[in-house]
Amino acid sequence: MSTGWAIDVHGLTKRFDGRPVVDDVSLQVARGRICGFLGPNGSGKTTTIRMLCGLLTPDAGSGTCLGLDIRTQAAAIKRQVGYMTQRFGLYEDLSIRQNLEFIARLFELPARASAVDRALQRLGLVERQKQLAGTLSGGWKQRLALAACLLHAPSLLLLDEPTAGVDPKARREFWDHIHQLAGEGMTVLVSTHYMDEAQRCHELVYIAYGKVLAQGRAESIVAEAGARDLEDAFVRLVDRAQDNFA
């Protein structure tokens, strides 16, 4: 059933060795929106993302991704989602084009050469397509990883700290691509530690200790926290959470 939500999950919980890493997380993201997913290291962001894209099964909770059940339709979700991990996961001893051709074969895409050509063109990789991935700078590796995510024309992008360690110019260019994709109707959930990137999102979710502490537009979160700015708001949210858990 199609709804206005690209992501609509409730009560997601995941434990490792009996310890809750994600604890009763509920999250809704409208189609065509960019949602920033923020929180300290170890807060549960990556685990949540992996449950959304079908790589992990929640211990509790339920919901849908692109209208598909995250528990029973994980395989179908994977074919409609582009997932970009924290670390560069492509083959460094293959060229840009060879990497994309390999991903296209994995997805069993028809007209693979045309799909690769479109991805190369979109991310400005045509002139570098024969370059080995291992020789690329962080910014160009990031472009290649995004191109690989887009090959199968997903409806949802899940980006796990995609700009970590990338220079400011490459980060700005990356976000220009993200806003162009959202303008075309794609939904994006992106985790980040950068406050300037958070400000470029339509809405934000802040998670700590495995729990969602705030969700909404940046200005609303700042106002509700009685803070000076977004960074101050997050510090206050964590301090309050620590008091609750003490």
Average pLDDT over residues 125-135: 96
Q: Is residue 245 very low, low, confident or very high in pLDDT (cuts 50, 70, 90)?
A: low
246 has pLDDT over 70 = no
Q: What's the chain's length in residues?
A: 246
79 and 28 Cβ atoms separated by less than 8 Å: no
- Asked if residue 63 lies in contact with residue 74, where contact means CB atoms within 8 angstroms, the answer is no
- Would you list the DSSP string of 174-223? HHHHHHHHHHTT-EEEEE-S-HHHHTTSSEEEEEETTEEEEEE-HHHHHH
Q: Once rounded to an integer, what is the mean pLDDT over residues 128-148?
A: 95
Q: So what's the pLDDT on residue 26? A: 96
Would you give the end-to-end CA distance of the chain in angstroms? 43
d(CA 11, CA 9): 7
How much is the pLDDT for 1? 44
pLDDT band at 4 (very low <50, low <70, confident <90, very high): confident
pLDDT of residue 88: 87
- State the Cα–Cα distance between residues 104 and 150, nearest whole angstrom: 10
User: pLDDT value at position 164?
Assistant: 86
**Confidence (pLDDT) at 3:** 64
Q: What is the pLDDT of residues 163-218, one digit of tens each?
A: 888 889 999 999 999 999 999 999 999 999 899 999 999 999 999 999 999 999 99
Do residues 213 and 238 lie in contact, with contact meaning Cβ atoms separated by under 8 Å? yes
Across the range 215-235, mean pLDDT stands at 95
* pLDDT tens digits for range 34-91: 999 999 989 999 999 999 999 999 999 999 999 999 999 999 999 999 999 988 889 9
Q: Is the pTM of this model over 0.75?
A: yes
What is the model's pLDDT at position 242?
80
Stretch 27-38: mean pLDDT: 96
User: At 49, phi and psi to the nearest 5?
Assistant: -60, -40
